[in-house]
Amino acid sequence: MEGITNLVDKQGWGTIKDGSNPTLYSLAQCMNDLSHTDCLLCFTEARTKLPRCIPSVSARVHLDGCFLRWDNYNFYQEAVDDKLDRRVCNTSAASTEDYLKLEFTAKAKEVIENVTRIAMANKDGFAVAETKRGVVSVYALAQCWKTVNNTGCRMCLEKAAREVNQCLPGREGRALNTGCYLRYSTERFYNDEGLKKDDKGFFTPAVIVAIVVAGIAFTMLSIFGGCLAYKQLVKMKKERKSLGRLSTTVSKSNLNFKYETLEKATDFFNPSRKLGQGGAGSVFKGTLPDGKDVAVKRLFFNTRQWVDEFFNEVNLISGIKHKNLVQLLGCSIEGPESLLVYEYVVNKSLDCVLFARSSAQFLNWQQRFHIIVGTAEGLAHLHGGSQTRIIHRDIKCSNVLLDENMNAKIADFGLARDFAPDKSHLSTGIAGTLGYMAPEYLVRGQLTEKADVYSFGVLVLEIVCGRKNTVFTPESGSVLQTVWKNYKSNSLPEAIDPALKGNFPVTEASNVLQVGLLCTQASVSIRPSMSQVLQMLTDREYTIPLPMQPPFLNASVMNPDSSTMTKSASTRAMDTSKSYSMSSSTSASSTVEINRAR
């Protein structure tokens, strides 16, 4: 499917003939009104639904934004199929008044006739039409597939028009035919009206005016646009260079996995295998052909943010191995979405265990201390134990995984940054999780390894106290406020998780809390390095410095559901909040999937 993915990316549609005995024929096409990004998102959504048709040798996926089909014969010229063509109606009437129903039906038939006529006449087999007369507006879109000739397009759209007319006076209707797609609705659902023509085939006055105005605007903006285009070209060259370098690096290394292998390993990304969801994508459990369990992180598309995060994870940690870092096993960049492959860690993330309050997974003091030390060792290795100096930027409970022996393993390096030895700090955009970000980074964007130290300090307090940093109590506020108050009153043991029921060494636990306070100091210079933190935790003879008041203790509001700040806006082509599916009651075929993706 990689070949057809490239074609869709390049031109919005494509066909592929693949293999022999049997030979598979594939067709994918986006509606002409979709943007490039929405087209890619719709195609990816369609691909995720194809595995439901296995083991059938044929499959069709209809979405409102695109169409995908495969079969074991050349179907490209097919226009209609009485067995598999579908009609989907919204039987809710556009109006409760009988006279308005009649008016709506008449207008809808007119729009359906217009849109089919214009689409038949257009070379690309696409058209939109509308009418806004009266109380209720009607909008329609028609699209023939690129592989169908003019005769087939006409035959398909004529049948589609007859089918959707049977949905009237319902407020919406779709015809999902073999060679075309037709939809009408009371809502304007398409992205671009296109060029509307009158009955004689000429442009309407409104369109002529629009063309003239657009021409003048284009002339006025040409010079300015040229300057912007040059800057954009330079930027795109840099991004393509990054992608090319990444592709070359992966293909020449043993990190490369085939997309199909990982698809099968995760049972085609079956929701039952989903381990978690992050800002950059979802993680699924997979089983490779040799029986080895892995974790597969599924990302979407090569936007600038994608390039940064994907390149970081592959380039920064592919050569780093440490017992307290999740190992990157490889990746796949040839499929419709890019995949990262990690070692599988049995016990999921620390927050699932620490805050679950389940007796089956309760963490005693020895386990908590072991997790704290292990996380410190992993961070110390990132900051100075490897050839590359790396700042993680998103240390928190959900990014610390636990193996079968409750060993801590730091995960999710999408926000990580390498840090040259001769630099005092990096100036960068803010990204991370509220409640864990150091003040100098949050306020001024100045990033050093001490930002990780601050996050680690918050993590330590959460582990020892058994409380989330974002949860406030009326009596003592946040966990940071609680520990500081107990420290000032010489009662640190009172801040320790009551669930431990006093089963912990008081001096050791108090020292760990003091280390946590030191790590969360407002001043970067007062915060210890991770190597110093390790020494404080493991050397009983080490004299731990006295902490000062941490920052943010006077803050009154923090979002309890705070999450990673760098997020991408959802697009209409991926909106499945209104999705529906239909199975045929007249055919045994299970190869048709219908889903709203617009």
Positions annotated as catalytic residues are 394
- Cα diameter, the chain: 94
User: What is the chain's length?
Assistant: 598
For the chain, the C-alpha Rg in angstroms (whole number) is: 30
**Whether the Cβ atoms of residue 344 and residue 293 lie closer than 8 Å to each other:** yes
Which two three-digit tokens encode residue 177? 């035919």
The single residue listed with the structure tokens 């009266």 is: 134
Angle, helices 449-465 vs 365-380, to 10°: value is 170
Q: What are phi and psi of 592, to 5 degrees?
A: -110, 125
Contacts for 39-43 with beta carbons within 8 Å, 24 or more apart? 39/8, 39/12, 39/65, 39/66, 39/573, 40/8, 40/9, 40/301, 40/336, 41/300, 41/301, 41/571, 41/573, 41/574, 41/597, 42/66, 42/573, 42/574, 42/597, 42/598, 43/5, 43/8, 43/68, 43/336
Q: What are phi and psi of 418, to 5 degrees?
A: -80, 155
> What are 296's strand-pairing partners?
284, 341
What string of H, E and C letters represents the secondary structure of 354-371?
Answer: HCCCCHHHCCCHHHHHHH
**Whether the Cβ atoms of residue 500 and residue 478 lie closer than 8 Å to each other:** no
Which two three-digit tokens encode residue 87? 């009609």
Strands 282-287, 274-277: pairing is antiparallel
**At residue 323, what is the residue type?**
K
**At residue 284, what is the residue type?**
F
Peptide bond into 336 cis (omega under 30): no
